[in-house]
Structure 1
Amino acid sequence: ANIPDATAVLGTWLHVGSQESVAEERKERLVAAGVTHVLSVMKRPPPWLSSGPGSLPFAHMHVKVEDTRAADISAHFDETGAFIRACEGARGRCVVHCAFGQSRSVTVAAAYMVKHGDMSLGAALEAIRSVRPCACPNPSFMTQLVKHEMATTGAPPSDFRDFPSLPKAWRFVAWRD
């Protein structure tokens, strides 16, 4: 089932999208597409998604994160991972969205794929960018993803040179303090 301005990045159940993908006028289309979970990763979610529990046709979580270098998005990886994992366990369909579907939502989806999808960060980002070329976490989020990968796997970080489709600049992510 097609969800406008959202892209399936893991199987057919985990989607990354912009705020347009969950616009109020698309509510029926989201339900028809089998969406059971919506995760808003932005300062304020679209107002209709803030109408309170029980008033929406799907589970909704809002994580307040701005797309800035100072934002600590990794502080939310456990809670967003648990929300997405609950969707996967229920055989549902999840849309993770931010404003443009490029940085925050991609970061949260990639973090999930590393921790629960048995993928390296390079493989997760390559999988996302292969279907959503605009995907581009900000430099601070990239650093947080690399640290998340190392903490999750206990191994050195992905060598992005092994993933030629990824931007060359990503090979120089500063992850050491």
Structure 2
Amino acid sequence: MTAQAASYPDIGPLPQLKIDKAKAELGKRLFFDKRLSGDAGIACADCHVPEKAYSSKKALSPGYPGNGHFRNASSLVNTAHKNVWNWDGRIGTNLNDMTREMITEDYIMNMDMRIMQERVKQDPLYVKMFKDAGYGEPSNGSVRKAIPEYLKTLTSTGAPFDTGKMSASAKRGMKLFKGKAG
């Protein structure tokens, strides 16, 4: 085993995350809601497309209308298990911060959090969902908590690696990956 390989912890299936169902359902609705963008024209799901493993269907994600976006939206599958986000790892504190960044950045969703909060408060279903989730009145802080709760539901669990049913060839590859390949 190389020194580099020895410095990484052993890898295995992802640990089970505790998920609050009411908060995750609220987060899901917010994730697909275009009203969270400045012009109510795009939702999180427009760049992180469910049918594309919650990644972008294009090489460069569309971002906020008219900006000619410059990044590819990476997959959100297993994102709740990460410590840093974005291709360059520039945001590495928590998913709450990442959610705020994506909603407020002018080249992504271009939303003022105060306006977003007022839009959400005007929807009676949101008012009920926030209350049922234990957040009380809709707020931008609870939006930034609910979306990450939904992201926790996007965890890979069916791959052979996750189920412990890897082929003999895959097991040899894993041994190489953990060993001399580093």
Superposition TM-score tier, normalisation by shorter sequence: under 0.3
What's the TM-score, normalizing by structure 1? 0.27
What's the TM-score, normalizing by structure 2? 0.27
Higher Rg: 2
Q: Which has the higher contact order (CA 8 A, sep 6+)?
A: 2
Higher relative strand content: 1
